[in-house]
Structure 1
Amino acid sequence: MPGTKPSPSPSPSPSPVGDPVHVSLLNGDGDVRGVGMPIIAFFNAKLTDAKAFNAATKITANGSPVQGNWYFEETAREGAAMEAHWRPETYWPAHAKIHMDLPVKGVSAGTGLYFDDSLTLDMSTGTAYIGTIDASTLRMTVTADGAQFGTFPVSLGATNTPTSRGVKVIMEKGLDIPMRGPGYYDPHVQFTQRLTYGGEYLHSAPWNVANIGHRSSSNGCTNLLPADAQRLYNTFEIGDVFTYPNANGPAMTIGMGYGDWNVPWSEWQTGGALQI
C-alpha cells in the first residue's frame, strides 16, 4: 500500500562463541526396550556446566510428561569424553511410547563451550519383565507386567568369583559368543544376555547342570539350564531388570553396567559428576 514502510528483515541470531560439544545417543529411534533402560548420551568433550542441558530436556511417555533428570559420569566409550544417563524416579511404564526432545544446539555447555546439535528420540517399552535372583535358594523368579511368569534354577558365582549384588539391566544379547576368564576359554557360550561390563551374563551352562539350583560354582555369571536359557533369551529385551538382593559379591554401581537403579533418587537428582 502507498506510504507503507517495508518491514525490517529479522536480525540473524549470533553464532555461538567457543568450542563445540557434540551429543550422540546410544538409544535409537524404533528401539523396543525393557522398563529399566536408561537414555544414554555421549559427549565428545567434557562439559563444565550441565544445567542448561538438563533443563532443555523434555521427555514424555504416551504423551504425558515424565519427570527425571540426567546423571553425568566418566566414560570408557571410545571417542567420548563424558556420558550421561537419563531416567525417571521409577521404571518406565510398560508398553509405552517414549519421546525425547533435546533442543540444545547453541546452548552453553559451560564457559567457552556450546552444544553443536539438537536431538530427538522415539523409542518404546515392551512387557515389564522383572527378575529376582535369590542366592540362598538359587532360584530366579520372573514377573511379566506384575504377574508371575516363571521360576528358574540358577548357579551363581563361587566364593572366589562372586556375583555382584544389586539391580542390573540387560545391556546386550549374544546367541553364541566366546567367553574367557581365569583358567578357562569357551568359544561357544549360548543364549547370553550381558549384565555388566566386567562380564556377568545370564547364559546357558550345559557343563554345570549338576550344580544349577544346588550350588553356586560359576565364574560370576548366572548359569541357567539350557532349555531355560533359550526360553529366556527369546523372551527378554535389552533393558529388562534383574535384582540380586543377597548375592555374594560387591555392590553393583552405575559404572559396572547400566547400574542406574542402584543410585538413590536423592543422589540421582544432584546430577552426579556435574551439578544440575
Structure 2
Amino acid sequence: MKRRGVRGPFPGVRLVSIVALAGALLAGCTSAASDERSTDQGSDTSQTTAPPEPVSLSLSIAEGAQNVEPGQPITANATNGKITEASLVGAHGTVVKGGLTPDGTSWQSAEPLGYGKTYTLTAKATGQDGKPATATSTFTTVTPAQTVSVSMNVQDGQTVGVGMPLIFTFSDDITDKAAAEKALRITTQPQTEGAFHWFSDDQATWRPKEYWQPGTTVSVDAGIYGRNLGDGTYGAEDKAANLTIGDKLVAIADGATHHMKVYVNDQEVRTMPISMGKPSSPTPNGTYTVMSEHNGYTMDSSTYGVAVDSSQGYRLWVEYAVRLSYSGIFYHSAPWSVGYQGNTNTSHGCINLSTENAAWLMETSKPGDVVTVQNAGEQILEPTDGWSVWQLSWEQWIAGPEG
C-alpha cells in the first residue's frame, strides 16, 4: 500500500522540501553576517604600525645658567632613543667624571664641580628612527660669599657607647639650619629614631630618642659641599664616618654611698669605692657621656679659671684620666685619696678612683658610655657641659633651644 505524500500549496512539491529550502535561506543569512564580522575584524589587523620617533634630549641645566650649586649631579636624558656619548668639561679642559645608565637613556656626573667655574655639558643620542641629535649647555657654578668647614666628634671605624651623640661643629654660624640638617645624613641599621638640636648657631647635635641599641651600625655623611647653608655660605668639603655601637656600659657614681657601680649590658660587673667633689666644689649631679680617654694627663685648675697658685688651684699628673665634661670633670686615678675613697668626698669635683680601678674602668669603657652622678650635692650638670645630651628629656630636645 503506497503512502500518500502531504501536499502543500504547490502541487507536486512536498512540505519537507519547503522546510529544507527555508533552512538553506536561513543558513545563507547567517553566513553573510559571519562574513561581515570577519571583514570588520580583518580591517582591525590591517592598521599600520606608527613610524619610529626621533630622539628628544633634555639637560638638567639650561644654557647660560648662573650660580649653579656644584654639589648637585648634572644629568642628560634621552626619550625615544639612547645616548651614545656625553661629556662635562671645564673651561680649561678639565673632564668631569660621569657615566651612562645601563639602558643608555641617561648620563649623570659622578663628582662635584668647582665653585665659580664654567662648564659645558654635551650629549649626543640616536633616536628610534636612527637619526642623531645633539644638545649642549654651558653654565657657571656659584661663587660663595664664604665657605665653612665642619668637624665631627666621631671617627671612621670607631666603636662607641650607647649614649654617644653625633656632634657637627661648623667653622662659622649657620643661618639656614634646615638646609644644614638636610645635608647631615645619618643612616642606621636597625632604624633608630632621633633628631637634631642646636645648642649654638655653629653646632648641630643629633641624638637618638633613647640610648642606642648595642650592635647598631651608623653611617654619618656630612655632605655639605656645594650646599647653600644660608646667606651665600657654602660648605667647604664633606666628611663621613661609619660607626658601631658597642656594649651598653652604664656607671652610677653615688655620693651618699661613695661607691660606683658599673653595669655592662644591664648586668652589674663591678663596684668600686670613690671620692667625689667636696662640699665647696661638688660634682654636679646628672648623666655624663664619656668624651675622651688619656694615658698620662695633667690635671690643671687653670683650664677652667682657677689659678694654679690659688688656695683652690692645683696641677697634678695622673696615670689614667677620662674626660666627662668641658668644665673639667673626669674620672681618674688618684692614689693620694685612696684612704678617703669609699667614705668621704674630698676632690675638686672629679671622681677619684684607685689606680687599679681607674685602669680597669678606662680599659672597659669607651667614648659614648654613660656615667650618672647622684646624691653628690645641690649642683646640677648643664646639658651644654660636654656631651651631656641626656640631661634633656626627649620633649625638651625636639623643642629646640627655647624648649
Bin for the TM-score computed over the shorter chain? 0.7 to 0.9
Q: Secondary structure at the match of 1:256?
A: coil
Measure the CA separation in 2 of the matches of 1:270 and 1:14.
Answer: 37
Q: Pick from 257, 270, 281 the counterpart of residue 161 of structure 1.
A: 281
Matched, 1:70 2:196: yes
- 1:109, distance to aligned residue in structure 2 (A): 1.5
- 1:187, distance to aligned residue in structure 2 (A): 3.8
1:77 match: none
- 1:3, distance to aligned residue in structure 2 (A): 6.0
* Contact 1:54 1:69 (8 Å CA) reproduced: no
- 1:58, distance to aligned residue in structure 2 (A): 3.1
- Cα distance per residue 1:85-144 (max 9 Å; x no partner): 211111222133211233333323123323333332211222111011111111211110
Task: Give the letter aligned to residue 213 of structure 1.
Answer: G
Task: Give the letter aligned to residue 226 of structure 1.
Answer: T
Matched, 1:60 2:187: yes
| TM value normalised by structure 2 | 0.61
Matched, 1:84 2:213: no
Matched, 1:206 2:335: yes
- Cα distance per residue 1:126-164 (max 9 Å; x no partner): 211101111111121111011111111111110001101
- Cα distance per residue 1:230-266 (max 9 Å; x no partner): 2112111121101113221521123211111112212
Q: Residues 272 and 8 from structure 1, CA distance in 2 versus in 1: closer, same or farther, beyond 3 angstroms?
A: farther
Task: Give the letter aligned to residue 194 of structure 1.
Answer: R
Q: Residues 93 and 10 from structure 1, CA distance in 2 versus in 1: closer, same or farther, beyond 3 angstroms?
A: farther
- Cα distance per residue 1:23-49 (max 9 Å; x no partner): 222311111211112112111111112
Q: Write out aligned runs for 1:1-150 (5 A).
A: 4-9=131-136, 14-15=141-142, 17-61=144-188, 63-74=189-200, 82-150=202-270
2:399 match: 270
Measure the CA separation in 1 of the matches of 2:178 and 2:391.
Answer: 23
Measure the CA separation in 2 of the matches of 1:12 and 1:25.
Answer: 34
Q: Secondary structure at the match of 2:157?
A: coil
1:228 match: 357
Measure the CA separation in 2 of the matches of 1:112 and 1:72.
Answer: 20
Q: Residues 187 and 14 from structure 1, CA distance in 2 versus in 1: closer, same or farther, beyond 3 angstroms?
A: same
Structure of higher RCO (CA pairs closer than 8 Å, 6+ residues apart): 1
| TM value normalised by structure 1 | 0.87
Aligned-pair Cα RMSD in Å: 2.4
Measure the CA separation in 1 of the matches of 2:328 and 2:195.
Answer: 28
Aligned residues: 267
- Cα distance per residue 1:193-223 (max 9 Å; x no partner): 1111121111112111111111111111111
- 1:54, distance to aligned residue in structure 2 (A): 1.6
* Contact 1:69 1:271 (8 Å CA) reproduced: no
Measure the CA separation in 2 of the matches of 1:40 and 1:163.
Answer: 25
Q: Pick from 209, 212, 215 the counterpart of residue 344 of structure 2.
A: 215
Measure the CA separation in 2 of the matches of 1:266 and 1:215.
Answer: 37
* Contact 1:21 1:109 (8 Å CA) reproduced: no
* Contact 2:183 2:227 (8 Å CA) reproduced: no
Of the structure 1 ranges 29-38 and 151-160, higher mean CA displacement relative to structure 2 is found in: 29-38
Q: Residues 9 and 267 from structure 1, CA distance in 2 versus in 1: closer, same or farther, beyond 3 angstroms?
A: farther
Matched, 1:175 2:295: yes
Task: Give the letter aligned to residue 198 of structure 2.
Answer: F
- 1:12, distance to aligned residue in structure 2 (A): 5.2
Of the structure 1 ranges 12-21 and 208-217, higher mean CA displacement relative to structure 2 is found in: 12-21
- Structure 2 unaligned blocks of 5 or more: 1-125, 302-309
Of the structure 1 ranges 218-227 and 1-10, higher mean CA displacement relative to structure 2 is found in: 1-10
- 1:270, distance to aligned residue in structure 2 (A): 3.4
- Structure 1 unaligned blocks of 5 or more: 75-80
Matched, 1:257 2:386: yes
Which of the two has greater helix per residue? 2
Q: Secondary structure at the match of 2:135?
A: coil
- Cα distance per residue 1:30-77 (max 9 Å; x no partner): 11211112112111111112112223433233x333222222234xxx
Instruction: Return the index of the structure with the highest Cα Rg.
Output: 2
Q: Secondary structure at the match of 2:319?
A: strand
Measure the CA separation in 1 of the matches of 2:365 and 2:381.
Answer: 21
Of the structure 1 ranges 146-155 and 9-18, higher mean CA displacement relative to structure 2 is found in: 9-18
Measure the CA separation in 1 of the matches of 2:327 and 2:235.
Answer: 32
